[in-house]
Structures are given as C-alpha cells and as structure tokens.
Amino acid sequence: MRFFKVFLLFFILPFLAKSQPGPDGKITIGKVDSIWSGTLKENSYYVVYTPPSYSNTIYLPKKYPVLYLLDGDAHFHSVTGLLQFLSSGINGNYVIPEMIVIGMPNTDRTRDLTPTHTDKGPDGRELPFLRTSDGMSNFFKFLKNELIPHVDSSYHTSSYRVLVGYSLGGIAAINALYTIPETFNSYIAIDPSLWYDNQVLMKKAKDYFSKASLKGKILFLGQANTITPTDTSPNLHFESIAQFNSIMESFNRSGLRYRYKYYSDDDHGSSPLISEYDGLRFIFDGYKVNYSQLTENPGLIKEQFKNLSARLGSEFLPPEDVINSMGYQSMQRGDSSKAIGIFQLNIDLYPSSYNVWDSMGEALMYASDYKKAIACYEKSIALNPKNDNGKEMIKKMKEKENQLFPDQHAVQPRPIC
C-alpha cells in the first residue's frame, strides 16, 4: 500500500489518529456490555477494550489474545494503558501483542473471589465483609461456561487467555490455575491474599505443583512490601506469599514457567501497575522484534515467532503492519532489495492479505521490475477488487512497459509474483 511518503509519521505516531476525540468530544477507551448468567442468577456487567488495530480495513483481520481482568472496574485504565503503550507502536513499542481486555467488576466481590467460607481475617478476628464468602467455584463456572464463550463469539479472539488478579483476585488467579488450568494460559497474581482461611490455598501448593502437569502455563507472582514498623507479630499476608514462593522455588516440577518479583518500594495499594507491566513482559518474553535483524535477515523473525508459539502453545505471528512499515523504511533508505525481502516475509506470513501483495508490487515497481510488480498488483486486486491504487499502478506500469518495449509487451508471458 502506498504509505511510502508518510511512513515516518505512521511509524512514530501510529496511535495519534486513534486517540482523537469523537464527534461528541470524548475519547473512548472501552465499552460496557453485559450477559445474563444462569449460574450467578444475575446480569453480569463487564468492560471491553479492543486494540487500535481492531477496526483496521487495510490489513488482514487478526485474532487477538484476551486478558481477563478481575476487579476490572479498578484496574481497567492501567491495564489498557499499558497494552496501548507496549503493543500499538507508541515510540516504536511492539514488545507484547495487542490484546482484547475484558474487565470484570463483581456484584459481590467477596462472594466471587473467595474459594471457601470463613468470616475471620488474617489476625483471627471476625470481618463482616467475609460473611458472603465461598462463591468462587460458581464464579469460575460463569467464566468458563458463559462469559468466555460469549466473548469468543462476539469478538475476534484467539485461543490464548491471560487471567490477572489482585489481592483477593490474586488468590482467584491462583485457584483458577489449581482448578480450571485448561481455561487460561497465563496468570498474573498481584500481592495475593494467601493468608485467606488459614492459608488454605498456600497449603495446597507443595502437593499440587510437585504433581500437576502444567507445561506451557505461566504464572507471574508480584509481592508488595506490606511490612510496617508497627508490626509486633508476623505479618501473615506477607509471610503467606513468601512461603508460597519458597514452595514454588523448591517443589515446582509441573512444567509451569514461573517468576516471582518483590517490590520493596511498593505497598499493597501501589503494586498492581508495576506488577501488570512486569507480568506481561515476562509472559511475552521473546515477542519483541529485533528490527535491525529483520532488515538483514527476515527469515530469523519467522524462526523467532515459531519458537515463541511453541513455548506459549498458541500461534503468534509478527504483526503484518509492523513488517509492512519496516519494508517501507528500507524503501525510504533507497534499499529496494531489502524492502523486497521484508515484503516477501509478509507474503509468506499473510498470503491472503491484499495489502502484502500491493506493498510488494510497489517495491518491485521502484526496482523497475515492472512485469513482477504488475503480477503482484494483479494478485492484490484479485484479493480486493476495490484496490483502486493497484489498478492505477498497473495502468502506469503498462504504459511504461509499452514505451520501453513496444514490440515485446504484447507477447511476453506474465510472470508469477
């Protein structure tokens, strides 16, 4: 596609146009939706974020991983902001894939995010807010059997799912790994309340992670500094997380990929944002493309994403728009041969995209290989009959061919691009 003259602006500020106010003067980050839950016997609301490329009309439609966010009403802005910054090309950042976010508030947070019933806090005293505890199994049924199928049928989703939870949501993430490990691929547990009900989940860790088969699953555990100078007895919240980590370091034989990080400068309230950042970077380690390597040897990028997909258990490809932009960058430097190699990578990855053939046609045209360029444009038009740019380029090149080879053009067979 003819982005050649505007490439630098596109590459540096790809989200600028996306963030402009709409007709009502508002910038929309997400939308509220709902589903009736027969399991919970209520109308369950959730908030949806779709990434900047979701509504594109140029590139081949994507299927996006989905991040399910517990306490979505509190953390929706931070998580969607991180994803926008890390995946949509701001400052050239493509270090994690673009994702759909489903933020889940709860009608009764205590009910949904606790695995057993207790009314006692970490110090053994009764806590009134715990009276409705012990509804997590029903909440998981709602997630697995109702919400996730509804989201998959309503949005362009891939099979890869991440579950993020904080505090009570953190133990929900860990218990999901215990009880419904087939539902999510990766988990981020942020300062989880592992003190809950006399450490009921922490006490299961040794036996579970020494025997379970969790190859391909990922758990990131972030711990805040919740120790205060006024503590006169062991801090059960802090100690329970530390004990869980010790068990993981000594007894995890499950194949689970695990990382723990302690944030000495963050308390329980400030730990979510930094944990979300580090957790997402850990899960998608290996996604970031070395662009100088791409320019010199595009085939290495295919191998990189092949290995990443094998490790994550789901197909991940380098983004079509990013590869396309790198090809045009090589063209702007006057290196058509490297641009052709990069565009060929995009053709190999996305052969059904009209845009990749259009871009290759342009690179070949600038290299004065008109016959192959025309063949590529014709392929692009076959995939998208509305590609008027391709039709115009073919017309111009045929006129050029007639000028250069007036006696040969009519009898030369058309090469296959």
The bridge status of strand 157-166 relative to strand 186-190 is parallel
DSSP state of 182: T
CB atoms within 10 A of CB 228: 9
SS3 416: coil
Q: What is the pLDDT along the chain (417 residues), one digit of tens a residue?
A: 544 333 333 333 333 334 556 667 888 899 999 999 999 999 999 999 999 999 888 999 999 999 999 999 999 999 999 999 999 888 888 999 999 999 999 999 999 999 999 999 888 899 999 999 999 999 999 999 999 999 999 999 999 999 999 999 999 999 999 999 999 999 999 999 999 999 999 999 999 999 999 999 999 999 999 998 776 678 999 999 999 999 999 999 999 999 999 999 999 999 999 999 999 999 999 999 887 788 888 889 999 999 999 999 999 999 999 899 999 999 999 998 999 999 999 999 999 999 999 999 999 999 999 999 999 999 999 999 999 999 999 999 988 777 655 555 444 555 556
324 is written with which tokens? 């396309």
DSSP assignments along 390-404, one per residue: HHHHHHHHHHHHHHH
pLDDT at position 194, please? 98
Query: How far, CA to CA in Å, does 114 sit from each of 46, 175, 195, 226, 240?
Result: 19, 9, 12, 21, 16
Instruction: Report how far residue 35's alpha carbon sits from residue 407's, in angstroms, rounded to the nearest whole number.
Output: 68
pLDDT at position 153, please? 97
Instruction: Report how far residue 241's alpha carbon sits from residue 5's, in angstroms, rounded to the nearest whole number.
Output: 54
Residue type present at position 302: K
In the chain, the N- to C-terminal Cα span, in Å, equals 16
pLDDT at position 405, please? 55
DSSP state of 161: E
Stated pTM of the model: 0.90
pLDDT at position 417, please? 63
- Nearest by Cα to 415 from 351, 356, 372, 369: 372
SS3 34: strand
Instruction: Report how far residue 156's alpha carbon sits from residue 149's, in angstroms, rounded to the nearest whole number.
Output: 12
Q: Which domains does the chain have, with CATH numbers?
A: 15-283 (3.40.50.1820), 291-404 (1.25.40.10)
pLDDT at position 411, please? 45
